[in-house]
Amino acid sequence: MTHRINRQVRLKSRAVGIPQAEHFEIVNVPISDLGDNEVLVRNIYLSVEPAMRGWVSDVANYSEPVPVGSVMRAFAVGRVEASRHSDFRPGEFVTGMFGWQDYAAVDVKVIQRKITETDLPISTSLGVLGLNGLTAYFGLLEVGQPKTGETVVVSTAAGAVGSCVGQIAKIKGCRTVGITGGPEKTQICRDEFRYDTAIDYKTDNLDLALAETCSEGIDVYYDNTAGTISDAVLKHLKVGARIVICGTASIANWEPIPEGPRVERHLLVKRARMQGFLILDYTDRYTEALRELTQWVRQGLIQYREDILEGIEHAPGSIAGLYRSENFGKRLIQIAPQE
């Protein structure tokens, strides 16, 4: 085992703005021996997230920046190949922050969970039954607090988080309006993710479309973009609206902070609330949420899409692709068969 090759995708340099393929390099190293309480995981799917832009930036953030020269931080799901801890046995599937690499020799503390919903593809553990689903779940239900009959607007509505937000809102009896880009994603929003209305911000006049669709006002806005999409949404808030700040995909660079229309007047007149949200604050409630999400997926109440790139050589350019919106659904890189 120790003589097999481990391919690692390492951070080569810091990007200004969106990290591109050139900011990473792939190196081959031997697999290290296991220490006490360590497990060797053969990664099968690697995750690609919008948040990775923040992870490789040295701008103040909610996590330490990935050091230049290190393996890229990433969630992954894989199979236990060897174990020096009694809780884990070869053949079991586990998820965790295993990095963009073939093999991870990690302390068991790094393992997030053992996959038990074996009737579903293990790739779901990185998307709809992983952080994307959890982000949708807690962001919408805890921060957005939607009530039956309310209008919920979602930006990046066809994305891994957005699509799940829309469907959970639907399960909770809300009217859902998805904002996405392009005719194909608009159609997916309507047909697969069951949005009551889908708006194509690239061709529709967003302000007019919102005025028509949400003539009574917006109760909850789940914001994955910031920028001009949010500027338009904020004009249509209802009294008591809640805005969930989950991501800022449309802002290429926060250094320096870009300008936009001030929000205070909207918040004041509508007594609205705008609140930032980080999924890592909810770790002790993941199990409860995953149980419910798994049930909804099994019942077909939550549909999901995956965008699977084949081969680790796609990893370096995969973040930039997300910001070009080239993916349909949760982006993953498959680097080994599930069997």
Contacts with its own copies, residue ranges (CB under 8 A): 60-62, 223, 226, 230, 245-248, 251, 254, 257-278, 281
What does the longest C-alpha to C-alpha distance in the chain come to?
66
CA-nearest of 163, 165, 212 to 189 is: 163
Please report how close the Cβ of residue 14 comes to its own copies at its closest, in angstroms. Answer: 18
Residue that has been written with the tokens 């599930």 in this structure:
338
Burial 224-247 (b: 16+ CB within 10 A, else e): bbbbebbebbbebbbeebbbbbbb
Of the two residues 95 and 230, which places its CB atom closer to its own copies in the complex?
230
Radius of gyration of the chain (CA): 20
Please report how close the Cβ of residue 53 comes to its own copies at its closest, in angstroms. Answer: 12
Please report how close the Cβ of residue 126 comes to its own copies at its closest, in angstroms. Answer: 22
Residue that has been written with the tokens 């917006």 in this structure:
218
Of the two residues 172 and 266, which places its CB atom closer to its own copies in the complex?
266
d(CA 338, CA 147): 40
d(CA 264, CA 233): 14
Of the two residues 4 and 265, which places its CB atom closer to its own copies in the complex?
265
d(CA 282, CA 123): 22
d(CA 80, CA 113): 12
Of the two residues 194 and 242, which places its CB atom closer to its own copies in the complex?
242
Please report how close the Cβ of residue 1 comes to its own copies at its closest, in angstroms. Answer: 41
Of the two residues 250 and 303, which places its CB atom closer to its own copies in the complex?
250
Is there a contact between 80 and 157 (Cβ–Cβ < 8 Å)? no
Of the two residues 208 and 280, which places its CB atom closer to its own copies in the complex?
280
Of the two residues 68 and 280, which places its CB atom closer to its own copies in the complex?
280
Please report how close the Cβ of residue 104 comes to its own copies at its closest, in angstroms. Answer: 28
Please report how close the Cβ of residue 193 comes to its own copies at its closest, in angstroms. Answer: 24
Residue that has been written with the tokens 């949400």 in this structure:
214
Quick one: how far is CA 303 from the chain centroid?
A: 15
Please report how close the Cβ of residue 6 comes to its own copies at its closest, in angstroms. Answer: 33
Looking at residue 35, the DSSP 8-state letter turns out to be -
